[in-house]
């Protein structure tokens, strides 16, 4: 029996990603948690959990910044380092992709075409959704008196809330949710319109994490979940040594010299560690307090025979701090066309 934690509640797109990776075959226990940080914290501290699944990015809306920032901060919190390589307690072992077909959902049957200009709509959903249905919401706003978008912690939670408030709306006020068809079915709600996302092929990517098995770090570990592709992918985070011309290029050249292909790069603001225990060799107090510095997130693809030793040596000499978050098989859904 394995225990998988995920960003809940049941019926979310993260729940769908979990089911894709860990089918409900009677040997899996699913633990729904309230927040992305809690998924990381519980997996780190609760030995009863084996894996955690969290969203990373959306093909329309981009980064899920909560996840990126947690990876950034965990890199800083690592107390054990090999030179200037941070060795995290968690590692990435797989990825999943879920098609995001958004639905407009109500707690009772309604005719969406019958809404008049005296209707006050309150629409609930996760904030990541608003950027994925902008055009639809703009068109809907033109047909009603007012439209208010209200954030919830999950899309499934938005449906649950609307169902709990059934019959409590003021005159001409209607509560709706934007979520998946799965969430509507789970809560006995009604789909008024679908799909309402602006772009076809809208997809969210999820990471599957587990605790690292070795103090050598996730770079040398092998995934223990089922592979779906022969293409291997590794996620790396790093901070350049100084804000000078060519500092980023110096790091990227390490990959080029070792025939490793970079397939994506992004960045988040770097938060310098204040704890002297996590300060790395060569990381001066002055450097730690400098503003406008960034953590770069790089994904590389490669075959399984790559020699990582010269890569680690090169990164150690060219970066202030770096961290490998794991090597995993590229999911075949990555190559699906829109």
pLDDT at residue 79 in the model:
57
Counting the structural domains of the chain, the total is 2
- Distance, CA of 21 to chain centre: 15
In tens, the pLDDT along 225-238 reads 545 557 899 999 99
Work out the number of other CB atoms within 10 angstroms of the CB of residue 266.
14
Cis peptide before 195 (omega within 30 of 0): yes
Four-point Cα dihedral 81, 84, 85, 87, nearest 10: 20
Same domain, 88 and 221: yes
Same domain, 216 and 124: no
Q: Which of 146, 165, 193 is the last residue of a domain?
A: 193
Residue 168 belongs to domain with CATH number = 3.40.190.10
Q: Which of 139, 166, 193 is the last residue of a domain?
A: 193
Same domain, 118 and 233: no
Beta strands 173-179 and 103-106: pairing type? Answer: antiparallel
Same domain, 234 and 109: no
pLDDT at residue 134 in the model:
95
pLDDT at residue 73 in the model:
94
Q: Which of 193, 210, 245 is the last residue of a domain?
A: 193
**List of the chain residues with pLDDT < 70:** 79-83, 214-229, 243, 273-290, 338
Same domain, 325 and 216: yes
Same domain, 119 and 225: no
pTM of the complete model beyond 0.75: yes
pLDDT at residue 285 in the model:
46
Could you give the 3-state DSSP secondary structure of residue 120?
Answer: strand
Domain range enclosing 160: 103-193
Same domain, 140 and 15: no
Same domain, 66 and 120: no
- Distance, CA of 216 to chain centre: 25
Residues 302, 260 contacting (CB under 8 angstroms): yes
Same domain, 208 and 331: yes
Tell me the β-bridge partners of 34. Answer: none
Same domain, 285 and 239: yes
* Residue in the structure block whose two tokens are 């797109």: 13
Same domain, 296 and 206: yes
Token pair listed for 123: 């629409």
Same domain, 214 and 157: no
* Residue in the structure block whose two tokens are 């054990």: 80
């Amino acid at each position: 029996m394995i225990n998988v934690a995920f960003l809940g509640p049941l019926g979310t797109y993260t729940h769908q990603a979990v089911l894709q990776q860990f089918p409900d075959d009677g040997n899996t226990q699913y633990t729904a948690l309230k927040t992305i940080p809690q998924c990381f914290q519980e997996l780190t501290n609760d030995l009863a959990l084996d894996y955690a699944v969290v969203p990373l990015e959306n093909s329309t809306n981009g980064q899920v910044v909560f996840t990126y920032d947690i990876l950034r901060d965990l890199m800083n919190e690592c107390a054990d380092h090999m030179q200037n390589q941070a060795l995290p307690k968690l590692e990435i072992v797989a990825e999943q992709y879920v098609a995001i077909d958004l639905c407009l959902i109500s707690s009772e049957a309604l005719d969406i075409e019958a809404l008049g200009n005296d209707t006050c709509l309150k629409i609930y959903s996760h904030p990541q959704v608003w950027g994925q249905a902008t055009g639809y919401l703009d068109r809907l706003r033109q047909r009603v008196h007012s439209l208010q978008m209200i954030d919830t912690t999950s899309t499934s939670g938005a449906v649950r809330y609307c169902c709990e408030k059934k019959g409590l709306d003021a005159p001409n006020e209607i509560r709706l949710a934007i979520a998946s068809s799965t969430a509507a079915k789970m809560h006995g709600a009604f789909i008024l319109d679908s799909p309402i996302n602006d772009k076809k092929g809208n997809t969210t990517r999820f990471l599957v994490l587990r605790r690292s098995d070795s103090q050598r770090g996730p770079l040398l570990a092998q995934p223990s979940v089922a592979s779906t592709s022969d293409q291997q992918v590794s996620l790396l985070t790093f901070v350049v040594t100084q804000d000078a011309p060519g500092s980023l290029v110096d790091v990227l050249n390490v990959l080029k010299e070792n025939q490793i292909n970079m397939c994506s790069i992004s960045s988040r603001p770097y938060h310098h560690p204040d704890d002297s225990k996590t300060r790395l060799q060569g990381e001066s107090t002055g450097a730690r307090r400098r503003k406008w510095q960034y953590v770069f997130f790089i994904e590389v693809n490669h075959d399984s025979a790559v020699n990582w030793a010269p890569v680690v040596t090169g990164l150690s000499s060219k970066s202030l701090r770096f961290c490998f978050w794991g090597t995993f098989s590229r999911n075949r859904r990555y190559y699906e066309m829109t």
